[in-house]
Amino acid sequence: MEQRTVTGYEEKKAALFEEIDRHEPSVRALSDWLFQNPETSGLEFESSKKIAAFLEANGYCVELPVGGEATAFAASSGAQCGEKNDEKSNGRKRGRQLAIMVEYDALPDIGHACGHNVSAGISLLAALALRPLQDALDLDVRIIGTPAEERGGGKVPLIEHGLFADADMAMMVHVYNGNVLSPVCLALRGNYYTFTGAPAHAAASPWEGRNALNGAQLFLHAVDMLRQHVQPDVRMHGIIREGGTIPNTVPERAVCELFVRALDKGYAASVQKLVDDCAKGAAIATQTECSIAPSVRSYDDLKRNTPGLAALADVFSELGLSLDSDPDRPFASTDAGNVSYVCPTFHPCLQIAPSGTELHTQAFAQYAGGEAGRSALATGAKIIGLQVLKVFGDDRLLADIAADFKR
């Protein structure tokens, strides 16, 4: 891939926008395909293959799978993947490393109602547009395909396998019903609570049984009572997954799944211990037994970076994007939060739907699969691209971001 010889910010910006315009039609087609062929968390086999083939057709080296995840991939271009090196590079990687995250899983029944088809397209378009500028920025751009964001925390094993270890910065753009520099992403802990009792005929000899469903019910009531004793940012919500098979048999087994969320990952872990105690107490009171096991990988809160967010605010202003959404409104949770504890991470939100159109609804899916989603591709790619130009074009800013991250 021919590298662009550019110097100042404005020249780099013009080159970036030219590349975005050039690649936007093909990325738009890929985003549409993802929307029309949704695959749920951990089952994104065709989606990951489609994206990998797209990147390979554009000259990238793609490794699929990676990190022990069947639908995760990593793509790069340049010296590190066998591209012909000039004398200056001498076969070495460039001095700085950027990870652009790509999410592509969908939701059961309502498909891409979180807009991952659009955010995936934004990440890919940004990476393609930055590729000719890598030498000018002394920057290797790695594209990391991160499956199972909706359920499964697919970024966690990728972190454990070192895919973000060398990154000076990670970034993606999520679509939303407003523009937000850094959404409030709650840490999440999730467990299965399995109550085991003893069966009996519910009419003939109920005294012989130990009702596992009673244990599950008492557990959820205890969690409700716990709510008044936790901080206001805490969310505790769950369901009964199993509660018996027939009314005239005392349920021998009942299973609850419950999530705990909080602004701080340490406090979320503390609250989860209190929830565990609720389950243990409910088991004692109902003469049942309770086993506890994780139901999802833990998601961390999104760590903010003050100097990096100041630069990102300049990007939004430069693109004429207003920041009129409530910055303190919880966005729920994302495993990008886990990445933010490995390297400086930016996860801004770009509006494609009117305020009040909630994520994970059919109404939002219509925007993600419509012209609003398509139009957001170039804008989102510009957000990533301009942030990269500002950060990696200013050694002082990059140092400030690194120092803020280490605090």
What's 225's domain CATH number? 3.30.70.360
Q: Is residue 65 within 8 Å of 78, Cβ to Cβ?
A: no
Q: Is residue 1 part of a domain?
A: no
Q: At what angle do helices 9-36 and 45-57 cross, to 10 degrees?
A: 140
Q: For residue 396, what is the domain's CATH number?
A: 3.40.630.10
The torsion of the CA quartet 29, 163, 340, 129, rounded to 10 degrees, works out to -40
62, 160: one domain: yes
Q: Is residue 4 part of a domain?
A: no
Q: Is residue 363 part of a domain?
A: yes
What pLDDT digit, counting tens, does each position of 124-165 carry? 999 999 999 999 999 999 999 999 999 999 999 999 999 999
Q: Is residue 206 part of a domain?
A: yes
What pLDDT digit, counting tens, does each position of 347-395 carry? 999 999 999 999 999 999 999 999 999 999 999 999 999 999 999 999 9
Residue with tokens 């200013």: 394
| Per-residue tokens: 260 | 């705990």
Boundary (domain end) residue, out of 245, 264, 294: 294
Distance CA 367, CA 360 (A): 12
pTM, two decimals, is 0.92
pLDDT of 13 reads: 98
Q: Is residue 83 within 8 Å of 55, Cβ to Cβ?
A: no
Chain centroid to CA 179: 17
194, 180: one domain: no
For residue 293, what are the contacts with CB-CB under 8 A and spacing of at least 6? 191, 192, 194
86, 207: one domain: no
What pLDDT digit, counting tens, does each position of 328-346 carry? 888 889 999 999 999 999 9
54, 101: one domain: yes
pLDDT of 93 over the 90 cut: no
Rounded to an integer, the average pLDDT of 206-224 is 98
pLDDT of 220 over the 90 cut: yes
49, 133: one domain: yes
Q: The domain containing residue 48 runs over which residues?
A: 9-185+301-406
Banded model confidence at residue 80, pLDDT cuts 50, 70, 90? low
Percent of the chain with pLDDT over 70: 95
Residue at 367: amino acid letter: Y
163, 89: one domain: yes
What pLDDT digit, counting tens, does each position of 278-293 carry? 999 999 999 999 999 9
Residue at 166: amino acid letter: D
Distance CA 148, CA 158 (A): 11
Closest CA to 308 of 182, 184, 187, 143: 182
179, 196: one domain: no
pLDDT of 85 reads: 38
238, 156: one domain: no
Distance CA 46, CA 50 (A): 6
| Total domains in the fold of the chain | 2
Boundary (domain end) residue, out of 240, 265, 294: 294
Boundary (domain end) residue, out of 253, 273, 294: 294
167, 218: one domain: no
pLDDT of 389 reads: 98
What pLDDT digit, counting tens, does each position of 161-180 carry? 999 999 999 999 999 999 99
Distance CA 169, CA 360 (A): 28
pLDDT of 55 over the 80 cut: yes
